Structure 1
Amino acid sequence: MYSDSDLEAAVAAGALSPDAASGFRNYVATRSGGAAVDEEHFRLLTGFNDIFVAIAAAILLFAVGWIGQAIGPKIDVDGPSPFAGLFVAATAWGLAEFFTRKRRMALPSIILLLAFTAGVALTALTTFVLAIGEANFQDNERAIALVIAASAAVAAGATWLHWRRFRVPITVAVAALTVVGLAMALIASAVGGDAPDETMERIMLASALVLGLGVFLFAMWWDSSDRARETRRSDVAFWLHLLSAPLIVHPIFSLLGLTDGDATVGEALVVLGVYVLLGLTALAIDRRALLVSALAYVLFALISLFRQFGAVELNIALAAFVIGSGLLLLSAFWHGVRRSIVRPLPPGLQARLPVTDRAVAA
């Protein structure tokens, strides 16, 4: 299986001409019955060897983490050790030099990146706690939040170095996640202890929503630079959209009170209205992550709605039937529906969205 990133690399190396690569993409799209530009391509597996290497790497990372945990100083005697994260991060980087940089294996590269970032974050957090002193964090929410923020900042810098070295598409999203963690920790340190728990929860939800919108705009910046979705930039945007979706969706529905229990008829209708808006946005930007992230909330709202109207025994089945059939119909007619939504938009906005026809991109 070949991804757009592989075709991009082949064109850069001179193995394929740009016209040949474009023709191949259009041929594959024609066989699948859709427009090539409207497909969300990202590579996860190149073969079973990816799974084999990923399992082996996970076992090795677990082993070196255990060894580091055994030989290093620990927080609170039985807590984590800085050497556990350090050994995992160092091993992940070393393995990436071969399996990512030379072999370009997709799934192992993702696992190694996540292990590297998590290892750096754990090393930074445990080192800061041991250096400052565990007693200074007793009943001190601000100090805890600040050390988490500092650890997230270190992890963000390390992830940026990983991107400069290996260029794994998911790396930008992981770096964005560390920045989100940094911002959330700083906000928690600024208001922690001074606000009631309910107010604090609302502040954090609102902050997550704002940060999610920021990640969404960042993803759109990457998307707008590759409107035909032919380069690695589109892969980067895919992972950023996957990150931004829950950051946007969860706060919206939580602030609406959907997570507090059974939804009233009014709340259920509001949820469905929000989901329709998310669906229109997903169609316009040609990304399905928003729809997937909100599924659980919409199912819950529909279940409550059917229960309110007396369908107690079949409420779950009816809700699943409505959502499942609706999404399948949308998938079947995605390209046509998307064109009908994008074409009435202002030309300036259309110029920033993925094209509906590859000929337009050319």
Structure 2
Amino acid sequence: MYSQEDLNSAVAAGALSAEAADALRAHVAAERDAVPADAEHFRLITGFNDIFVSIGVVIMLLAVGAIGQAVAGAIYPAPVFTGTEWDAEWWNETRSQRSLAQGISMGLAAFFVAGTAWLLAEFFTLKRRMALPSILLLLAFVGGVMVTQAGFIIGWAEGAQDRNETFGIVLLAGAALITAGAAWLHWKRFMVPITIAAGTAAIAGMAVLLLVAAIGPNAQNIETIVLTLVFLAGLVVFGFAMRWDVSDTSRSTRRSDVAFWLHLLAAPMIAHPVFALIGVTDGDNIGAGAALAVVAVYVAFGLVALAVDRRALLVSALAYVLIALTYLFREFGAVELNFALTALVIGSALLTLSALWTPIRRAVVNTLPGELRGRLPATA
């Protein structure tokens, strides 16, 4: 199986003409009886060898993480309680040492994971161009860089006598900025599409953390404030994803893959705060008004997903809609079958939407202004 990236590489190398590549894409699309843009293709696996290598990668990273913990234990061992009864004085006296030891252990393990992930990417990503292992190695590298810093920061903060939560949040924001820089270096070296989303997540996290530090972590209604900030960050990420999408409306280059992962990042950042502010996450009894609001918001998400031809928003909001519909069916007396009826409604709607995605999308897009339609993927 050849990916869009492989075809573009062949055209750039002169092994295949641009016309021949376009003809091959059109032929494959016709054989599959699908419009390439509507199919929302992205490269995940090229064969079972991707899964085989991915299993090996996970095992290797777990092993080096454990080795990192062992090395940390040898460098800075945690105090061991040898008494037989509870000793509050000993626990208070060693709190700083124990916290720092745990932080060093977590940080050094993550550092080993990040370093190993980069080295493995030199072969499996740069030379073999394997999709799934490349995604796992990128996540391990970026996550490892962040956790390395977070481990030392949390270890120090937890053990400090006079903890300053605001200063700790600022340090975590700085760690997120460094993580974004590491993601940029990874992108320049390996060009894995998900890297842009990982770096964007780090920058979004940095922005939210700095704003929380400025407002004060103990401010009134801080949870609502954080949810609002995450929602606004999600809208910015969505706009950034659309910028990549607009640059490749035919969805035939790596830019489309980058946009896919950005949409996948933006979707939960938008969906979770909206439904949490409605009250879906507060408990089982969300109220009929809130349940109807969830359904209305999901319909709005569906219209946006159809317009931009991305399904991430619909997937991210599914759990909340299931909760809302389950409540509504229970209110109407279908207590024993409420979950079954909810699953039936949602499943039927998703399958119908999938089967009729192209004509439904055409109807939605045709209602938009002409200038906006020109920036979206074409409808068949």
TM-score by length of 2: 0.89
Give the gaps of 5 or more residues in structure 2: 77-98
Q: Which residue of 2 aligns with 1:98?
A: 123
Cα deviation, residue 133, structure 1: 6.9
Using the aligned pairs only, state the percent identity. 56
CA distance in 1, matches of 2:33, 2:14: 29
Aligned residue among 176, 196, 206 for 1:182: 206
Question: In the aligned structure 2, how far is the partner of 1:37 from the partner of 1:193?
Answer: 44
What residue is the counterpart of 1:307 in the other structure? 330
Aligned mate of 2:112, from 87, 90, 99:
87
Of 172-181 and 116-125, more deviation after overlay is shown by 116-125
Aligned to 1:217: 239
Question: AA paired with 2:322?
Answer: L
Q: Secondary structure at the match of 2:236?
A: helix
Shift of 1:129: 5.8
Shift of the alpha carbon at 1:139? 4.0
Partner Cα separation in structure 2 for residue 119 and residue 80 of structure 1: 13
CA apart distance, 1:339: 1.0
Write out aligned runs for 1:1-362 (5 A).
1-72=1-72, 73=75, 75-81=99-105, 82-128=107-153, 135-136=159-160, 139-196=163-220, 199-261=221-283, 262-357=285-380
1:276-300 deviation digits (Å, cap 9, x = unpaired): 1100000000000000110111111
Unaligned regions of 5+ residues in structure 1, if any?
Answer: 358-362
> 1:13, 1:273 → 2: CA distance?
50
Change (3 A) 1:193 1:100: closer
Bigger CA drift: 223-232 or 341-350? 341-350
CA RMSD of aligned residues (A): 1.7
Greater Cα shift, 303-312 or 71-80: 71-80
How far 1:101 sits from its partner (Å)? 0.5
User: 3-state SS of the aligned residue for 1:353?
Assistant: coil
The count of residues paired between Structure 1 and Structure 2 equals 354
Distance 2:161 2:60 in 1: 33
> Is the 1:129–1:147 contact (alpha carbons within 8 Å) kept by the matching residues of 2?
no
In the TM superposition, residue 127 of structure 1 has moved relative to its aligned partner by 4.3
Superposed CA deviations along residues 225-271 of structure 1, whole A, max 9, x for unmatched, are: 00000000000000000000000000000001111122222221111
Distance 1:208 1:63 in 2: 35
> Could you say what secondary structure the match of 1:78 adopts?
helix
- For residue 86 of structure 1, report the CA deviation from its aligned partner: 2.0
Displacement of 1:39: 1.7
How far apart, CA to CA, are the structure 2 residues paired with 1:255 and 1:286? 27
Change (3 A) 1:355 1:149: same
C-alpha contact 1:137 1:143 (8 A) present in aligned 2: no
Q: 1:273 to 1:129 in 2, by over 3 A?
A: closer
Deviation for aligned residue 1:193? 4.1
Per the TM alignment, residue 83 of structure 1 is displaced from its structure 2 partner at its CA by: 2.6
Counterpart amino acid of residue 232 in structure 2: V
Q: Which moved more, 1:234-243 or 1:173-182?
A: 173-182
Residue 360 (structure 1) aligns with: none
